[in-house]
Amino acid sequence: MNELRYLPSGDSSLIIEVGNKISENINKKIRDLVYCINKAKIKGIVELIPTYSTILISYDPIKISFNGLVEKLKEVEKNMKEIKLPEALVIHIPTLYGGEYGKDIQYVSKHNNITTKEVIKIHSEAKYLVYMLGFTPGFPYLGGMSEKISTPRLKTPREKIPAGSVGIAGSQTGIYPIDSPGGWRLIGRTPIKLFNLDREKEVLLKAGDYLKFYPIDEEEYKEIEKKVKSNEYQIKKTILEGDN
């Protein structure tokens, strides 16, 4: 991996460039760096935005200068090896595939010459890395989908896709956090809310987490939906095996 680059982004933000491509290794380094920077509690840092291959750090220039901050960040970088980094979390997403909830699953199976059962198996077998969040509140950019189920977007986007819809666009998969228009091929829906203002933690995911979908039936869906509504549902989280 190349040396980190520190680039100014105006007088109140800087960008740490970790790499210039989308890769799990680069993103893992970003997750570790974010952890260490947060832990260092550098005076003047306002917030961090981790993305695919860079971290944007916004800071208060009244409290710290650009050069001062870069110096502190280089120290953090140097001391990283001595810090025990936390393992990545896998968030398990119960998903009802097909039917009314995933109208395009037949299209996806036909497009790829496989059965819908196989689509479900392939989609729910993989672990997907949350590279970053953006686009709409809580929307995860996921990596790691098999090319065996990749499908082009709809030519004409739908006007309203319900929150929780799980879809495929090209070789990407994703979940809609809020009702929104969109052109993804819908294969299922989760009763879990990625973005919920009534919850203490409004956004479920963070960059660096992994997602795993698991199939449920309609009965389970309704049950979980009820529990989610009354804030009783415990989302299953495990530690990623083989990390670190």
Partner 1 sequence: MGYLKIKNPGLLTTIQDLGRIGYQQYGIPVAGAMDRYALELSNILVGNNRYEGVLEMTFMGAEIEFNINTKIAITGANMKPTVNGENIEMYKTIYINKGDILKCNGLIKGCRSYLAVSGGFDICKVMESKSTYLRAKIGGLKGRKLKPGDKLKVNKSDYTLGVRKIPKDLIPEYKDEITVRVIMGPEEDRFTKKGINTFLEEVYTITNQSDRMGYRLDGEKIEHLNGADIISGGISFGAIQVPGHGEPIIMMADRQTTGGYTKIANVISYDLPYLAQLKPGDKVRFEKTDISNAQNLIKKRESKILKLIDGFKKEKVKPKGEIRNFKIKFKGKTFNVGVQEIK
Which residues contribute to the site for partner 1 (CB under 8 A)?
7-13, 15, 20-22, 46-56, 58, 61-62, 65-66, 132-139, 141, 177-178, 197, 202-203, 205-207
CB of 67 to partner 1, least distance (A): 8
Distance CA 51, CA 141 (A): 9
User: Could you tell me if 189 and 102 are in contact, meaning their C-beta atoms sit under 8 angstroms apart?
Assistant: yes
CB of 69 to partner 1, least distance (A): 11
- Which one, 90 or 205, has the nearer CB to partner 1? 205
> For residues 59, 63, 65 and 66, what is the CA-based torsion angle, rounded to 10 degrees?
-10
- Which one, 99 or 134, has the nearer CB to partner 1? 134
* CA-based radius of gyration for the chain: 20
- Which one, 46 or 239, has the nearer CB to partner 1? 46
- Which one, 168 or 207, has the nearer CB to partner 1? 207
**Nearest Cα to Cα of residue 136 among 104, 171, 173, 175:** 175
CB of 184 to partner 1, least distance (A): 17
- Phi, psi of 238, deg, nearest 5: -130, 170
- Which one, 18 or 186, has the nearer CB to partner 1? 18
- Which one, 88 or 105, has the nearer CB to partner 1? 88
For tokens 């309609």, the residue is 218
**Nearest Cα to Cα of residue 89 among 41, 55, 48, 130:** 130
Ordered alpha helix ranges (H), the chain: 24-40, 66-79, 105-111, 116-125, 218-229
Provide the 8-state DSSP code for 206. -
CB of 234 to partner 1, least distance (A): 21
CA quadruple 54, 60, 64, 66: dihedral sign: positive
- Which one, 166 or 207, has the nearer CB to partner 1? 207
For residue 117, the tally of other CB atoms under 10 A from its CB is 12
Q: What is the largest CA-CA distance in the chain?
A: 60
